[in-house]
Chain A
Amino acid sequence: MATTELPVPALPEAHEEPAGLVDYLITVDHKKIGILYIFTAFAVFLLGGVLALLFRLELAQPGLQVMGQNTYNQLFTIHGTIMVLLFAAQVSTGLGNYLMPLQIGAADVAFPRLNAMSYWLYLFGTLVLLSSFFVAGGPAASGWTAYPPLSDAKYLQGTGMDLWIIGLALAGIAGIIGAVNLVTTIFRMRVPGMTMFRMPLFTWGILVNQLLILFAFPAITAALAMLFVDRNFGAAFFDPARGGSPVLYQHLFWFFGHPEVYIVILPMFGIVSEVIPVFSRKPIFGYRALVFAFFGIAALSFGVWAHHMFTTDAVYLPFFAVLTMLIAVPTGIKIFNWIGTMWRGSISFTTPMLMAIAFIFVFLVGGITGVFLASPPIDFQTNDTYYVVAHFHYVMVGALLFAMFAGFYFWFPKFTGRLLSDRLGKWHFWILFIGFNVTFFVQFNLGLEGMPRRIADYPIRSWGTYNYISTVGSFLMAVGVLVFIWNFIVSIRRGQPAGDDPWEGNSLEWVTSSPPPHHNFHEIPEIHSERPAFDLRHRSPSEADAR
């Protein structure tokens, strides 16, 4: 069996020193950059979580006990902004940066220095946005959607809003550059023998995710630029008194905003599509269907933006209603395929597998409630209430977090050479799962009773009960996350050594050492199917060799 050998220089053996701070500053290695992304994104996640805990404390009881209205408005604005725009998309970019080149057998991404620049732009964008906490007037208080005229200089003065815009613009540029990089890598740098339809599904998820970024981020960058110019240079894009239109902003924002949520979730589909086959000891059921479903969801996601605008009376409702409902079809295909993978499999309930299964449950709830929202008459009732808040937290938090942690537990051994504790992992899992559902399930009821979103206080005292329960749940979630952090700290030094392939994985990254060497692979086997590591273990090409 022929193999692909790298030119190995004839040098005395060099030991890899643990990387210092300067190494990270000048690195162009996708693995280190991936780690930087993941750590930064996770830090942003923790900050966003703390902000949420603060305002959940306020909401637990009717009346204003903990903070004033302005502070409340600022907190939920920044919470939403950093969670959606500075954590969710980047944690996938980080995992993708580290893993995708490994999964396709490349030594690095197509443009390693540009890759580093993407990360630094993201970091600086985040810092610029967070610096708004320290300026007069404090951070933006416009909601993460920042609709004008409210976000215009006339109604929200102060540099906080401007820093918000600039921070996001930087992160947006970072995203676009990164997308060019990763898409080029996937198109051009696969190891010979790895056709597109032999790539692992996580890589497919990253491909579609980055393509979405490429075509959606320009819309938000345009909207942000226009808002900035309106605010600071006297333009009137969105000012109705001078011929502008607030609806224009909504269109631009949501043309980006809807693909954004798929940007967030599609790599998570990819993670789950890796984890479930490994722990069911069966190949993924319906590989091609899953690939087409990825593209179906991605394409459709560009056609549905105005379902966020049903209540404006400014959009053509049937077009958006039908396209939104249609997204349920490829999404359903994916869920059936995941279950089909588990069916008649041999399932081990390790922590990553538990997380992946929880993902399916949680995503199911979120997805079904999304189909309800796709219906304009239902949306007329539920839009801008806690029903929507519950829906998107189910998909963007529940589904995202469980898949993300599935990925962390699954790939931590590959990154570090050690396993995370499975015992602590199970505590983490159960506390997070229970906490999450307690927090957000009651919010569906609050929404159906009419509780609006983005309010510091509520007039109907009986809403206090559900709000109190939701707050308790949120603190439980925080405990779950703390258990994970503890697990990380303990395992990074004393975790069980993992070896190259602790899980009997399917994709190429399990063929190399843990952590991988600088050039990723000392030797790459021939690729005959979408499961090269599996084939290697079983020494014969798997049946999917028809390509």
Chain B
Amino acid sequence: MTDEAAMMLRVSLFGFVTGIVYWFVSYEPLGTVALLLLGAGPGFAGLVLVQERRKQADPAESRGDTLRRFAGIPPLDPPGPRDKRDDDLGVLPLPSIWPFATSLGLAIMLTGLIYGLWLLVLGGGIAAYATWGWLAAINRENRYGRIQAEDDPPPEDQVTPAAEARADPDPDRADG
């Protein structure tokens, strides 16, 4: 079982045990329900993680594969021994106005609960439009492949610590 699953299951155990003990010492319903839910939530998460671990054919799934599976991108074809592509850090979305717009819509919508239906509808409209834009962007990326934001290569004269380590594995050696 992975460390993550173990953690979730231990918290879940705590929730269930305290919930049950709490019921029998106090007969107070809200706390009991809350603690039992604390058991159920992480418990569910932990079980999902355990299940997933069991289903994986190759327990040493590379991170690239994880990210691809996670992002809904089909696995590398042909799958094979680990190669450099497996350590690809994945793809990142381009900057986007949709998170800002969706939040604005949601905020106006909730404020509309105070000030009247018109504001609620206005906010709902903005949120709906923004959600549509967001989903369209995701759809576009899935269909046509993601476009990464370009990154700068390190400047010529700068040596990254990792590169330095490759060049000089043991700087403390006597011959320098």
The contact of B30 among A1, A159, A162, A251, by CB within 8 Å, is: A251
* Docked complex: B143-168 residues within 8 A CB-CB of A: 149-155, 158, 160-163, 165-166
Query: Who on chain A is nearest to B164 by CB?
Result: A536
Is A147 among interface residues, defined by CB-CB distance under 8 A? no
Q: Quick check: B90 and A121 within 8 Å, CB to CB?
A: no
Query: Who on chain A is nearest to B5 by CB?
Result: A187
Q: Quick check: A189 and B67 within 8 Å, CB to CB?
A: yes
Interface residues on B, range: 35 or more
Tell me which residues across on chain A come within 8 A of B153, comparing CB atoms: 8-9, 11, 13, 522
Instruction: Decide: A7 near B162, CB < 8 A? Known: A25-B97, A26-B95, A315-B28.
Output: no
Is A170 among interface residues, defined by CB-CB distance under 8 A? yes
Instruction: Decide: A106 near B89, CB < 8 A? Known: A252-B30, A255-B34, A299-B11.
Output: yes
Segment of A65-73, A301-309, A336-344, A427-435 engaged in the interface with chain B: A301-309
Q: Quick check: B100 and A523 within 8 Å, CB to CB?
A: no
Interface residues on A, range: 35 or more
Q: Quick check: B152 and A16 within 8 Å, CB to CB?
A: yes
B32-53 CB mask vs A (1 if < 8 Å, else 0) is 0011001001100000010000
Is A437 among interface residues, defined by CB-CB distance under 8 A? no
Q: Quick check: A539 and B165 within 8 Å, CB to CB?
A: yes
Task: Kindly state the separation between the CA atoms of A315 and B93 in the bound complex, as whole angstroms.
Answer: 50
Q: Quick check: B152 and A6 within 8 Å, CB to CB?
A: no
Q: How far is the CB of A258 from chain B (nearest CB, A)?
A: 11
Task: Kindly state the separation between the CA atoms of A197 and B92 in the bound complex, as whole angstroms.
Answer: 27
Tell me which residues across on chain A come within 8 A of B124, comparing CB atoms: none
* Docked complex: B93-108 residues within 8 A CB-CB of A: 93-100, 102-104, 106-107
Q: Quick check: A500 and B93 within 8 Å, CB to CB?
A: no
Tell me which residues across on chain B come within 8 A of A485, comparing CB atoms: none
Instruction: Decide: A6 near B151, CB < 8 A? Known: A27-B95, A539-B171.
Output: yes
Tell me which residues across on chain B come within 8 A of A4, comparing CB atoms: 87
Task: Kindly state the separation between the CA atoms of A317 and B92 in the bound complex, as whole angstroms.
Answer: 51
Instruction: Decide: A189 near B63, CB < 8 A? Known: A25-B100, A523-B160.
Output: yes
Is B79 among interface residues, defined by CB-CB distance under 8 A? no
Q: Quick check: B96 and A26 within 8 Å, CB to CB?
A: yes
Query: Who on chain B is nearest to A194 by CB?
Result: B63
Q: Quick check: A107 and B89 within 8 Å, CB to CB?
A: yes
Q: How far is the CB of B47 from chain A (nearest CB, A)?
A: 14
Q: Quick check: A162 and B35 within 8 Å, CB to CB?
A: no
Q: Quick check: A113 and B26 within 8 Å, CB to CB?
A: no
Q: How far is the CB of B133 from chain A (nearest CB, A)?
A: 11
A/B pair count, beta carbons within 8 Å = 207
Tell me which residues across on chain A come within 8 A of B170, comparing CB atoms: 539-540
Tell me which residues across on chain A come within 8 A of B42, comparing CB atoms: 211, 215
The contact of B103 among A124, A163, A305, by CB within 8 Å, is: A124
Q: Quick check: B165 and A536 within 8 Å, CB to CB?
A: yes
Tell me which residues across on chain A come within 8 A of B73, comparing CB atoms: none
Is A372 among interface residues, defined by CB-CB distance under 8 A? no
Segment of A363-371, A400-408, A511-519 engaged in the interface with chain B: A511-519
Q: How far is the CB of B68 from chain A (nearest CB, A)?
A: 12
Is A156 among interface residues, defined by CB-CB distance under 8 A? no
* Docked complex: A289-340 residues within 8 A CB-CB of B: 295, 298-299, 302-303, 305-306, 315-316, 318-319, 323
The contact of B98 among A23, A113, A298, A539, by CB within 8 Å, is: A113
Query: Who on chain A is nearest to B114 by CB?
Result: A162
A353-376 CB mask vs B (1 if < 8 Å, else 0) is 000000000000000000000000
Tell me which residues across on chain B come within 8 A of A305, comparing CB atoms: 31
Task: Kindly state the separation between the CA atoms of A522 and B152 in the bound complex, as whole angstroms.
Answer: 9
Is B142 among interface residues, defined by CB-CB distance under 8 A? no
Q: Quick check: A13 and B152 within 8 Å, CB to CB?
A: yes
Q: Quick check: A319 and B113 within 8 Å, CB to CB?
A: no
Is B134 among interface residues, defined by CB-CB distance under 8 A? yes
Closest 10 CB pairs of A and B: A120-B103, A124-B107, A316-B26, A116-B99, A196-B3, A117-B99, A523-B162, A26-B95, A107-B89, A519-B151
Q: Which B positions have Cβ atoms within 8 angstroms of A?
A: 2-4, 7, 10-11, 14-15, 18, 21-22, 25-26, 28, 30-31, 34-35, 38, 41-42, 49, 62-63, 66-67, 70, 84, 87-90, 92-100, 102-104, 106-107, 110-111, 113-115, 134, 149-155, 158, 160-163, 165-166, 169-172
* 4 further interface pairs, Cβ-Cβ under 8 Å (given A26-B95, A215-B41, A319-B22): A128-B107, A166-B113, A215-B38, A295-B10
Query: 24 pairs across A/B with beta carbons < 8 Å?
Result: A1-B165, A3-B162, A6-B151, A8-B151, A14-B152, A27-B95, A124-B104, A125-B107, A163-B114, A170-B106, A173-B106, A187-B4, A188-B67, A189-B63, A214-B41, A215-B38, A232-B113, A232-B114, A251-B34, A316-B28, A319-B26, A500-B161, A518-B149, A522-B160
